[in-house]
């Protein structure tokens, strides 16, 4: 009897396998001339099942046994249907004829308005209807990204490019190739949730793709598009935006019939060359006035950064009575410093559900979840689910780089590789620092470059500050690091040394602990007045010793951890014994007639007097940072916050503990800061602001280093920082009482300069700003400034007022790199 049961089970299993038998239909899609049509769509009629051809025009689709109608579709070509009977693997090549758009039913008179304008007006009139007609949906999304070099210089900064980037003999090759499959959910107005199902990155078997379906969303029913993508500091106007007629001209190229629907092919043309607009073709259906496809370009004229041209093409598929994107493709090319590149990101949507009825609380702050298992899928899995076949170039790239990646995990390979990379060199040690990598053991030792360790100031004279950093990576992306550091001044003969360490123990909670102890020479302003290099240059060349220092013996324990989504907590305990210092050197490279070194006490510049007595400080600090509407991505290697559209609040408390370990300080400081960067103003750019206030609830014993300090600036050149005053003295206006400060800056993102011939080619961004400070010793201090910037480098001119009295004005140069 048992044998009979076993036989029945085997027969049923075989029967089920037979029923589940699927077949592969593949082929190449070309024009009538034989030219391939890249990324054409192929889908089963009356379903949402579909695939895309690859860059070589090759497609593959898997179907059960049965009869089907395949629909072949590509922008600019006539949609073709092919009836097939599937009972075995099939090779089905298809030729698509160029779409015939005619004007036979349209009469265009000289000087008359082009018929395209009325179609566009109807599309604008129905824009909001189509924008909001689908309240929610879910779908599967396959994303493929590729970036490759198509030309490069032989050498760059003395390095062989072919060898460094693993290119072919023509210095061409794929730099990045990645695929992912996700389940994507959306609910208006802006709720999203995505779960990555699978991920593959060429040459990085243990890595996770950074593909994100929400990055591919581009809805031309919105008025403004691509905001905050980094392509530009401003948004781009949709061809059917409410005010599109101000930015575009239109030309009807013809009409055609598709499944009983009249489709209008319309060329969109910028009215002004350098407006932030698209150029290309859109397809609009009669009667419904909905978009049926786009083939639009952004060029350098529109003000995009990093690439020369970006092409955005969309095709739509009918789901019930609405149309949803079947595929979206971003294709780009550019040339930076002789490196010619091109690439694309394409998304294929399938299995739409436009009535998902998401459960309550389905959408949370987590917009993308990536689990450990997503990169464990084998080649058979990818062959079955991949809706875009790999090209021969991509197959070779996977095979080559995955093989190398596997070999790189062996101890023998890593030891041989690191024997060369870890070779010591005097030039390397002086200019860039020396690093010992032990990748197999996941250990790294970095020695500071000597050129950045040598400095000069009037307190220490010629000095040397040198450190070594040891880092160890653990399982599950945990890590710890240790850094010893020593400093010696050859004029004051003071040697200091300290040791610091940190342990990053929970990537998903952004949690770490750290500690440090030893001695150090520190800036009187804990925010740092200038870098050692900048202060050395100002001191030696311009006879301006701007930075002031003190010595401390210290110990610190600190910790930070996320308490809830968007809520980060930090705490620390600090011990220090602090000593004043005096100038011991007056050496200078140039002796300027109208300049003299000042003392190390910023309040008595002509006389060396102690700023504070030697004292001991023990304090505790705690902080909470909360971001409204904080969104994040969860990956096995950590939690990654996304830029929020709402402000961030930071609450801080610091208490000086009198008597603990002979502590001399006694104070309580409570502070609150609100800030937000890049608040969109549409075509007018964006605004950023910081508002902070605080009060010493108790200031019984506050010494200067424990005061509330501000980010001042006495230098013409300084790093970019929104919280930084441009003309405020580094030290004069620190306080042990109450204060309020505000910083507001608006970047017009080229709104005005873009209209000036020649200047527009520089892609400069104009900005204006205001800084404000009030505290008992400095009431109503205000700075006004304006300037231009580009890619992190800016120059401005401004005025500083103490109340109504102008106290300073001049140029400032800022850098953010």
Same domain, 634 and 672: no
Confidence of residue 208 (pLDDT cuts 50, 70, 90): low
Range of the domain at 708: 668-817
Spell out a b/e string for 34-70, using b for 16 or more CB atoms within 10 Å of the CB, else e: eeebbbbbbbbeeebbbbbbbbbbbbbbbbeeeebeb
Across the range 433-461, mean pLDDT stands at: 90
Domain final residue, candidates 645, 664, 683: 664
Other beta carbons less than 10 A from residue 494's beta carbon: 18
**Are 143 and 168 in contact, with CB atoms under 8 Å apart?**
no
pLDDT digits (tens, 9 = 90+) for 372-387: 888 888 888 888 888 9
pLDDT digits (tens, 9 = 90+) for 491-534: 999 999 999 999 999 988 999 999 999 999 999 999 989 899 89
pLDDT reported for residue 412: 65
Contact 113, 54 (CB under 8 A): no
**Where does residue 546 fall: left (phi above 0), alpha (psi -120 to 50 degrees), or beta otherwise?**
alpha
If asked whether residues 91 and 130 sit together in one domain, one would say no
245-254 as b/e: b if 16+ CB within 10 A: eebbebebbb
**Residue 121: is its pLDDT beyond 90?**
yes
Q: Is there a contact between 792 and 305 (Cβ–Cβ < 8 Å)? A: no
How far is residue 723's CA from residue 397's CA, in Å, rounded to a whole number?
A: 46
107 confidence band (pLDDT: 50, 70, 90):
low
Share of the chain above pLDDT 90, in %: 58
Give the pLDDT of residue 12.
Answer: 41
Within a domain: 561: yes
Residue pLDDT, tens place only, 569-585 = 999 999 999 999 999 99
Residue at 54 is within a domain: yes
pLDDT at 188 over 50: yes
pLDDT in tens, 644-666: 889 999 999 999 999 999 999 99
Per the prediction, the chain carries an average pLDDT of 89
Round to whole Å and give the CA distance between 640 and 644: 12
pLDDT band (50, 70, 90) for residue 682: confident
Given pLDDT bands bounded at 50, 70 and 90, which one contains residue 112? confident
The answer to whether residues 252 and 381 belong to one domain is yes
What CA–CA distance (Å, rounded) separates 362 from 333? 39
- Specify burial of residue 784 (Cβ count, 10 A radius: 0-12, 13-18, 19+): middle
- Structure tokens, 529: 């007045």
In a domain, 585, yes or no: yes
Contact between 269 and 250 (Cβ < 8 Å):
yes
* pLDDT, mean of residues 382-403: 87
7 located within any domain:
no
Q: In 524-612, at which residue ranges do the beta strands (DSSP E only) sit?
A: 549-564, 567-580
Q: What is the pLDDT of residues 333-374, one digit of tens each?
A: 988 888 888 999 999 998 899 999 899 989 999 999 998 888
What pLDDT does 14 receive?
Answer: 40
Q: Where are the alpha helices (DSSP H) in 426-577?
A: 426-431, 532-542
- Is residue 778 situated within a structural domain? yes
Q: Are residues 301 and 401 in the same domain?
A: yes
Most confident of 169-173, 190-194, 670-674: 670-674
Residue 85 has pLDDT above 80, yes or no: yes
**What was the pLDDT predicted at 7?**
45
Burial 559-573 (b: 16+ CB within 10 A, else e): bbbbeebbebbbebb
Query: Is residue 653 located within the same domain as residue 690?
Result: no
Q: Which residue has the higher pLDDT, 407 or 673?
A: 673
Confidence of residue 130 (pLDDT cuts 50, 70, 90): very high
What CA–CA distance (Å, rounded) separates 461 from 457?
5
What confidence category does residue 142 fall into, taking pLDDT thresholds of 50, 70 and 90?
very high
Give CA–CA dist 749/684, Å, rounded: 7
CB-based contact 452:472 (threshold 8 Å): no
The CATH number assigned to the domain holding 32 equals 2.60.40.10
- E-state strands within 565-614: 567-580
pLDDT at residue 98, rounded to an integer: 85
Band (pLDDT 50/70/90 cuts) for residue 13 is very low
Q: In this predicted structure, what is the pLDDT of residue 574?
A: 98
The pLDDT of residue 209: 72
In the predicted structure, residue 15 carries a pLDDT above the cut 60? no
Domain count, the chain: 4
The encoded tokens of residue 162 equal 């072919």
- Residue 393's SS3 state is helix
pLDDT, position 310: 93
> In a 3-state reduction of DSSP, which class is residue 549?
strand
Distance CA 712, CA 299 (A): 40
What's the pLDDT at 3? 47
Residue with the larger pLDDT of the pair 109 and 805: 805
Q: What is the DSSP letter of 102?
A: B
- Choice between 357 and 412, residue whose per-residue pLDDT is larger: 357
Helix ranges, 342-475 (H): 379-385, 392-408, 411-421, 426-431
Rounded-to-integer distance, Cα 442 and Cα 647, Å: 39
634 with 710, same domain?
no
**Is 5 within the bounds of a domain?**
no
User: How many degrees, rounded to 5, is the angle at CA 417 between CA 413 and CA 420?
Assistant: 150
Do 135 and 73 sit in the same domain of this protein? no
Structure tokens that stand for 715 in this block: 């230098």
| Cβ atoms of 63 and 86 closer than 8 Å | yes
| 466 and 581 inside one domain | yes
Name the pLDDT band for 16 (thresholds 50, 70, 90): very low
- In the numeric block, which tokens belong to residue 144? 């493929």
3-state secondary structure of 461: strand
Q: What whole-number distance in Å separates Cα of residue 501 and Cα of residue 675?
A: 30
Mean pLDDT score, 698-707: 97
Same domain for 640 and 698?
Answer: no
| Chosen domain end from 637, 664, 691 | 664
The continuous run of DSSP H or E covering 812 comes out as strand 805-815
Give me the mean pLDDT over the 102-129 stretch: 83
Same domain for 659 and 675, yes or no, is no
The stretch 618-627 carries a mean pLDDT of 97
- pLDDT tier at 108, thresholds 50, 70, 90: low
Q: 443-447 and 461-473 as β-strands: parallel, antiparallel, unpaired?
A: antiparallel
User: Quick one: pLDDT at residue 305?
Assistant: 81
pTM of the model: 0.85
pLDDT tens by residue, 728-784? 999 999 999 999 999 999 999 888 988 888 787 788 899 999 999 999 988 899 999
Structure tokens given for 752: 């005005």
Who has greater pLDDT, 181 or 19?
181
Q: Are 599 and 622 in contact (CB under 8 A)?
A: no
310 with 368, same domain: the answer is yes
- What pLDDT is attached to residue 206? 60
Instruction: Return d(Cα 169, Cα 158) in angstroms, integer.
Output: 18
Do 696 and 747 sit in the same domain of this protein? yes
Residue 339 lies in a domain: yes
Which residue do the tokens 């979206």 mark? Answer: 328
pLDDT at residue 264 in the model: 92
Residue 604, domain member (yes or no):
yes
């Amino acid at each position: 009897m048992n044998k009979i049961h076993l036989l029945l089970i085997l027969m049923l299993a075989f029967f089920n396998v037979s029923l589940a038998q699927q077949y592969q239909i593949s082929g190449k899609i070309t024009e009538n001339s034989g030219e391939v049509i890249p990324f054409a769509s192929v889908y089963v009629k009356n379903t949402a099942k579909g695939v895309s051809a690859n860059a070589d025009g090759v497609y593959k689709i898997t179907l059960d046994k049965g009869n089907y109608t395949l629909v072949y579709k590509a922008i600019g070509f006539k949609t073709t249907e092919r009836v097939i009977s599937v009972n075995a693997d099939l090779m089905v090549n298809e030729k698509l004829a160029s779409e015939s758009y005619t004007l036979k039913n349209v009469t265009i008179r000289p000087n008359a308005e082009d018929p395209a304008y009325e179609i566009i007006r109807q599309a604008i009139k129905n824009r909001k209807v189509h924008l909001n007609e689908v309240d929610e949906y879910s779908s599967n999304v396959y994303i493929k990204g590729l970036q490759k070099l198509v030309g490069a210089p032989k050498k760059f900064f003395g390095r062989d490019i072919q060898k460094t980037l693993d290119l072919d003999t023509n210095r061409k090759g794929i730099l990045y190739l990645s695929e992912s499959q996700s389940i994507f959910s959306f609910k208006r107005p802006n709720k999203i949730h995505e779960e990555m199902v699978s991920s593959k990155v060429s040459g990085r078997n243990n890595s996770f793709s950074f593909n994100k379906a929400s990055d591919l969303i581009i809805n031309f029913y919105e008025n403004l598009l691509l905001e905050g993508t980094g392509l530009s500091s401003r948004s781009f106007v949709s061809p059917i935006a409410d005010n599109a007629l101000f930015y575009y001209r239109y030309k009807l190229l013809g009409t055609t019939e598709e499944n009983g629907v009249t489709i209008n092919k319309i060329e969109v043309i910028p009215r002004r060359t350098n407006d932030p607009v698209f150029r290309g073709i859109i397809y609009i259906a009669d009667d419904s006035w909905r978009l049926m496809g786009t083939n639009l370009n952004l060029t350098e004229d529109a003000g995009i950064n990093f690439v020369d041209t970006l092409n955005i093409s969309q095709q739509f598929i009918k789901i019930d009575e609405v149309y949803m994107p079947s595929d979206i493709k971003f294709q780009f090319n550019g040339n930076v410093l002789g490196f010619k590149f091109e690439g694309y990101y394409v998304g294929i949507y399938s299995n739409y559900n436009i009535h998902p009825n998401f459960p309550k609380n389905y959408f949370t702050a987590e917009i993308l979840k990536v689990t450990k298992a997503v990169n464990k899928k084998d080649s058979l899995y990818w062959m079955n689910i991949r809706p875009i076949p790999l090209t021969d170039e991509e197959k070779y790239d996977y095979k080559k780089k995955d093989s190398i990646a596997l070999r790189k995990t062996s101890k023998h390979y890593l030891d041989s590789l690191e024997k060369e990379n870890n070779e010591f060199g005097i030039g390397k040690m002086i200019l860039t620092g020396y690093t010992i990598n032990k990748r197999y053991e996941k250990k790294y030792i970095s020695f500071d470059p000597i050129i950045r360790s040598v400095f000069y100031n009037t307190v220490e004279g010629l000095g040397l500050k040198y450190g070594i950093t040891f880092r160890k990576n653990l399982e599950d992306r945990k890590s710890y690091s240790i850094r010893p550091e020593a400093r010696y001044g050859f004029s004051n003969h003071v040697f200091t040394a300290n040791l610091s360490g940190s342990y990053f123990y929970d990537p998903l909670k952004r949690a770490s602990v750290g500690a440090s102890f030893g001695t150090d020479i520190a800036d009187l302003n804990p925010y740092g007045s200038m870098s050692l290099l900048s202060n050395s240059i100002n001191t030696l060349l311009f006879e301006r010793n701007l930075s002031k220092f003190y010595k401390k013996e210290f110990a610190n324990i600190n910790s930070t951890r996320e308490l809830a989504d968007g809520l980060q907590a930090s705490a620390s305990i600090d011990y220090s014994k602090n000593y004043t210092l005096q100038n011991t050197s007056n050496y200078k490279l140039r002796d300027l007639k109208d300049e003299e070194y000042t003392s190390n006490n910023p309040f008595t510049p002509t006389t060396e007097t102690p700023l504070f007595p030697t004292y001991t400080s023990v304090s505790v600090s705690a902080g909470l940072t909360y971001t409204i509407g904080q969104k994040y991505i969860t990956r096995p290697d950590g939690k990654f916050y996304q830029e929020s559209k709402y402000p961030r609040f930071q609450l801080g408390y610091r208490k000086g503990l009198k008597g603990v370990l002979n502590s001399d300080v006694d104070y309580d400081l409570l502070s609150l800061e609100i800030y937000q960067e890049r608040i969109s103003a549409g075509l007018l750019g964006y605004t950023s602001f910081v508002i902070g206030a605080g009060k010493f609830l108790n200031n019984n014993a506050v010494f200067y280093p424990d005061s509330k300090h501000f980010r001042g600036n006495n230098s013409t050149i300084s790093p970019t920082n929104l919280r930084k005053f441009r003309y405020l003295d580094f030290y004069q206006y620190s306080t042990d009482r109450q204060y309020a400060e505000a910083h507001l800056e608006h970047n017009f993102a080229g709104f005005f300069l873009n209209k000036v011939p020649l200047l527009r080619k520089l892609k400069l961004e104009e900005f204006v700003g205001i800084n404000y400070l009030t505290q008992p010793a400095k009431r109503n201090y205000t700075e006004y400034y304006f300037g231009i910037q580009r890619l992190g480098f800016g120059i401005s001119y401004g005025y500083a007022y103490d109340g109504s009295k102008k106290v300073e004005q001049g140029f400032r140069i800022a850098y953010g790199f």
